[in-house]
Structure 1
Amino acid sequence: MTRNAPDPNAADPCISGPPAPADDTTLRLLSAGDLAGIDIGLADVVGTVEGAYRTLAAGLSDNPRKLTVKPADGHSVSYAMLGRDGSRDVVAVKTSYKHGLDRGRQEQHYYTTLTLYDDRTGLPVAMMDCGRIGSLRTPAVSALLARECAAPGARSALVIGTGTQGRLALPFLLTTLPGLDRLMLFGTHPQGIEAVRARLHAHFPGRDVEVVGDARAAAADADVVVATAGGHTPAAVEAGDLRPGALAVLVGHGLAPSTLHHADRVVATSEAQMHVTGTDMADADGKLPAVDTEFPQVLAGRAKGRTAPGERIFAYNSGLVVTDIALGHRFAELALGRGLGTQVPLWR
């Protein structure tokens, strides 16, 4: 299932270099509204994210372990991620802060930003809201994991959760696995379910989704399970619920720890990241099992995503900042080319 890896040193026709800033005293701010009007296809997103992984696997990019701050009562969580994209010569810092984890979705506050710098000139490119970038990058990674790790001939998929990550999960899965003919969804929010349907119809007008009331029962019929739900979800698919050959991808919540600990094979976008953000999947001793391979190595052709058709595979999808940089740079290129954003004299 793995494609032949391109030469990481070859020029990417989609990369024209970072948009040139006006000077070193101002910073271009790109708001959520600025980025909302940028039209980008799902295949473009998948290709951009895949390229970032391949460049990382080639040793040309840097993606240090993320820093985390969380109070003892768990009401908020903050992340900081620094990285460098070697194919674009772009350095970036991403921050993420969520408040109200002990409350309902409507009472939570979430802010995430990405600041890009041109490492050729040493000048800033832009600071942008990172919400849309994350909402595209993460389901694109899940779709790539499905392409590389799903059993041959996979035909059915179950998405758990209807939030930001769940709403584009099915369109991206169909982009990389067009042979899927049964699409299932477990969700508890009627508005979220309708949003999933609307996104699916927007990208694949002839397709619909089957809403299921029992996630564990539905998992038994799914070749691919993508768990994107929030922490309050009642869904907790166990290892025994998965059919032979199933791929279970964890993005948020919806999978019980047994799906990791009893998996035949474990793939992670980053083992170090999994140990930072995946502690809720630890066993009674607070331990996580070893990862069999990291996903960048699979895309580079140095490791296999799947080694046998009947393997039950657990895949941990933790965002890597190099993928945010690649996709953020693409958005900045498109936005600045249209003159979008606000120039702020930050360093005057």
Structure 2
Amino acid sequence: MIEDPLNTRDRSTPLRVLSRSDLATVPITPAAVVRAVEEAYLAFAAGDSDNPRKLSVANPDGWSVAYAMLGRDGRRRVVAMKTSYKFDPGHDRSTKRYYTTITLYDDTTGAPIAMMDCSRVGALRTPAVSALLVRETVRQDAESVLLIGTGTQGRNALPHLLAANPQLRKLMMYGTHPDGMEAVRENLAVHYPHAILETVEDPRAAASQADVVLATAGPGTEVAIESADLAPGSVAVLVGYGLAPSALIDADRVVATSAEQMTLTGTDMAGPDGVLRGVDAELPQILNRRAIARRSDDEKIFVYNSGLVLTDIAVAHALAERAIAQGRGTEVPLWD
């Protein structure tokens, strides 16, 4: 029997550093990512894990912002710290710098597991969360989805969405960057080679025909789907940009991964009076059946996808297991 490389670690084990290139090609299926994220939410809902509020500091001139997030996954027996730092003095892609890392510790042996670049973790975790949110809020007869945006989140959205919602057969995409649109198609084909993806020219018209609208566009998008553009009984998921505040204000029901996080990061969706509408149900409680997501087929549901460090921990741990088993990364005797 081959020993699990993570289970043989002890306090004398050097820290494994996993770079962006080390993690880029570690094989993991969308279904495995969705499963890891769901397990993290269920553990949190059961009280087995801890997810304290994030800390942040920002340059008073708006040049930079940094976050620190600590979490304990009680089922995986892993403690982790995630940090992120964005330097963006000119709001220009050429000068913007963004670094995010996560460090994992084994809470059964006290051994360090890995310090990792977190870019791929976030690129996988967020669409997996969206997939679960859709699964819990969508009508049973739903079959169509409109993806808005073809950046990192847009490129990973559809494979994870289909892993949790295989009934979604009519796939539509709106984007403005040819390279991004091609990347969406290529990534979908890797996991679902027979899926058909239609490119649409009018996102508002397409939204009126979609059971699910997944808004993953960047802050520069000109798309802002209004409540009136959404079909009765539809689900509108906000990951980045692409939905107008009316999609939240006029919704029949509001679901979020975390109501607290939505109050911190969703302020641009406040109404004309400056008030941000409250959340009716959170995903962890929906998953463990303590809250109801959808009450009727004709409800329009607005969904807010924000980060929860426990989901980063789950995906990072899954990637670390696979990377270390393949001998990737560099061991650093940091504490010798």
TM bracket (short chain):
over 0.9
Q: What secondary structure sits across from 2:152 in the alignment?
A: coil
TM normalised by structure 1 equals: 0.91
In structure 1, the partner of 2:278 is: 290
In structure 1, the partner of 2:177 is: 189
In structure 2, the partner of 1:223 is: 211
Q: For residues 322 and 212 of structure 1, what CA distance do their matches in structure 2 show?
A: 36
**How many residues of Structure 1 are paired with residues of Structure 2 in the alignment?**
333
Write out per-residue CA displacement over residues 111-132 of structure 1, whole angstroms, 9 at most, x where no aligned residue. Answer: 1111011112222111001111
Structure 1 residues 68 and 275 mapped into 2: Cα distance closer, same or farther (>3 Å)?
farther
Percent of paired sites with the same residue: 59
AA of the residue aligned to 2:160: F
The reply on whether 1:174 has 2:162 as its aligned counterpart is yes
Are 2:255 and 2:279, in contact at CA under 8 Å, matched by a contact in 1? yes
Structure 1 residues 20 and 129 mapped into 2: Cα distance closer, same or farther (>3 Å)?
farther
Q: What secondary structure sits across from 1:126 in the alignment?
A: strand
Q: For residues 143 and 281 of structure 1, what CA distance do their matches in structure 2 show?
A: 22
Worse-superposed segment, 262-271 or 25-34: 25-34
AA of the residue aligned to 2:199: V
Write out per-residue CA displacement over residues 227-251 of structure 1, whole angstroms, 9 at most, x where no aligned residue. Answer: 1111111111111110100101111
Write out per-residue CA displacement over residues 294-325 of structure 1, whole angstroms, 9 at most, x where no aligned residue. Answer: 10001001111111101100111111111111
Matches within 5 A, 1:132-147: 132-147=120-135
Are 2:10 and 2:110, in contact at CA under 8 Å, matched by a contact in 1? no
Matches within 5 A, 1:196-207: 196-207=184-195
In structure 1, the partner of 2:79 is: 91
Q: For residues 95 and 158 of structure 2, what CA distance do their matches in structure 1 show?
A: 27
Are 1:93 and 1:114, in contact at CA under 8 Å, matched by a contact in 2? yes
1:342 to 311, 323, 330: 330
The reply on whether 1:271 has 2:271 as its aligned counterpart is no
Structure 2 residue runs without a partner (length 5+):
none
Q: For residues 236 and 170 of structure 1, what CA distance do their matches in structure 2 show?
A: 20
2:112 to 104, 124, 136: 124
1:315 to 294, 297, 303: 303
Aligned-pair distance for 1:165?
A: 0.5
In structure 1, the partner of 2:100 is: 112
The reply on whether 1:80 has 2:89 as its aligned counterpart is no
RMSD of aligned alpha carbons: 1.8
Structure 1 residues 101 and 215 mapped into 2: Cα distance closer, same or farther (>3 Å)?
farther
Structure 1 residues 216 and 334 mapped into 2: Cα distance closer, same or farther (>3 Å)?
same
Q: What secondary structure sits across from 2:154 in the alignment?
A: coil
Structure 1 residues 101 and 162 mapped into 2: Cα distance closer, same or farther (>3 Å)?
farther
AA of the residue aligned to 1:204: Y
Worse-superposed segment, 24-33 or 52-61: 24-33
Aligned-pair distance for 1:72?
A: 4.9
Are 1:151 and 1:309, in contact at CA under 8 Å, matched by a contact in 2? yes
In structure 1, the partner of 2:138 is: 150
Q: What secondary structure sits across from 1:195 in the alignment?
A: helix
TM normalised by structure 2 equals: 0.94
The reply on whether 1:54 has 2:42 as its aligned counterpart is yes
Q: What secondary structure sits across from 1:166 in the alignment?
A: helix
The reply on whether 1:41 has 2:29 as its aligned counterpart is yes
